[in-house]
Structure formats: structure tokens, C-alpha cells
Amino acid sequence: MSIIINSSSRIAVQGAAGVEGQFHMSEMIKYGTKIVAGIDPAFQTDKVGDLDVPAYTTLKKAVEEHNADTSLIFVPAPFAYDAIMEALYCGIKKIIVITEGIPVNDMMKIKQYTKGSDVVIVGPNCPGLITPGECKAGILPGHIFKKGSIGVISRSGTLTYEIVQHLTEAGLGQSTCVGIGGDPVQGSTFVDILKQFNADDDTKAVVMLGEIGGVEEEKAADYIRDHFTKPVAAFIAGKSAPPGKTMGHAGAIISAGKGTAEAKISALKEAGVAVAVIPDDIADLIKSELNK
């Protein structure tokens, strides 16, 4: 099993006319992902570039013609809100937003619109997600992932790649790896993804990669303590970051004494999570947790 995406997912790419979108579409197709359509108002052709993928100017037509059930968004930030809303209006239930720099107010409106629904939004400002051996939706380097039973949730793309490499080299394959993004307002939080992993019989343990800023890691610690039934190992980046400075991601800012690495690490440890001092420790920690 897996969460969110699998070999049956039928993905439409919004923003498919751009160089970045087409490059990553090609990489996803090579991985085995079912890309059923590319959408961009600029298209004046039936195919997306040199790819054997149908091109459309609207998502509605792609959904009607190819039964797309997942949208992957590469649309530039000023137009991303409209692209996400188009996907929602077309009945798409799984939306993965790679775009960086979407205004916070736009994401707040989207979160309010989808509140209480069964829509899953991953991102924005994220690398996407992957179910190894089945489906890659985003910009992740597929060759480092290995099919297995470790779920991964991360705010950082490059940190995900580093730790997944350690897991794979240690023989610890992954069920699904989800990059939730580093923006202040996320489509899916740690808790949202933890709930899905908790319900997935084939995910035996979870690796959680957080960073300074916000309180989502602390909320995750509360959920893990009270509800999560599987081993968790974590790493929190940003222990040396000075207060009041934005470090990397838009959401990685410490303010009013909240969002520090120390607070997150403390909350996770109190919830029974094994917290790594350095990323290299994660594989050994999760092995130890599985053997308890």
C-alpha cells in the first residue's frame, strides 16, 4: 500500500508549457508515472513539447478526456491560486503544488475553501511526493528511493534527499515520501500526513523531518503522543539559527519565543519520538525503534 499516490494515479500537469514543467514531466514519465495530460493556456498544439502527452488549454477538458484524478502544479506564483481553484472546480481530489512564493492570503483562502472536504493538497513550495517503484509526482530524484515500509514526511526537499539516501543505503525502503513544503500555510501538515500513515498497514514506521518556525512539529508531537501507533524518528534542522531571522523557507522564522529547534525537539522527545542529533543518525535510530 501507499498514501495519496500509487501506480494507478492519473496525473495532469498544470503549467506544462514551461521549461521546468516539461523537464520534470519527462523525468516522471521515465520513472513510470502516468502523466495523462499537460495544461497551459499558452498551448497551441496537441502535444506537450517532445513528449507523447496530450496538451490542453483547460484542465476541464483533460479531466473529461482522460479521467485525471491528480493535479501537479508548476504554475507561476501570481497565477497559482487560479490553477488550484480550477483543479478544485474540476473535482480533482489530490493537488500537489510545487510553486514557490504563493501569497499567504491565497493559501489561506484555499484552506478555508477545502476545510472539511476530502481534498488532499500537498505544498506549496515543496518537492512533491513519491511512492517508490510506483509513482513520482514532483521534482524528487527518483533513483535514491527504494520501495519499503518507512514513511517519510519533510518540510525540506534537499534534507529529504539526504536522509532518504541514508535510509536506502541502510536497506530501509520507503512506503511513501511526502514533502509538505516550508511555507507558513501548508496544504497538508505533519498531522495530516501522520494520520494517513497511521492508517496505512504497510507503513511500519515514520521518519519526520522538521525545521525551525511555526508550531506544526509541536502539534505533530501531541498527535504522536495521543494517537500514533507506530515508531517515529525525527530530525529538526536549524538549531543554530538566530531568533527573528528567516532561514531558507518562508515559514522558517522564530518569533515571540516560538518555533525554536529546542522547543520542537523537547516536544517530540516528550512524545516518545527518537530525535537525531545529525541527519546521519536517522537510519540507525529508526532501525532501533523497529527492533524494540
- Looking at the annotation, which residues are catalytic? 249
Q: Among candidates 71, 76, 58, 85, which has minimal Cα distance to 20? A: 76
Close Cβ partners of 78 (under 8 Å, ≥ 6 residues apart): none
Q: Are 232 and 203 in contact, with CB atoms under 8 Å apart?
A: no
Distance CA 204, CA 173 (A): 11
Phi, psi dihedral angles at 227 (to 5 degrees): -135, -25
HSE on the CB side for 15, CA within 13 Å? 25
Q: Among candidates 27, 47, 23, which has minimal Cα distance to 37? A: 47
HSE on the CB side for 48, CA within 13 Å? 31
Distance CA 264, CA 267 (A): 5
Neighbours of 228 (CB within 10 A): 20
What are the start-end ranges of the E strands in the chain?
A: 11-14, 35-39, 55-56, 70-73, 94-97, 120-122, 128-131, 135-138, 147-154, 174-179, 205-211, 232-237, 274-275
The three three-digit cell numbers of residue 238, written as one number: 536549524
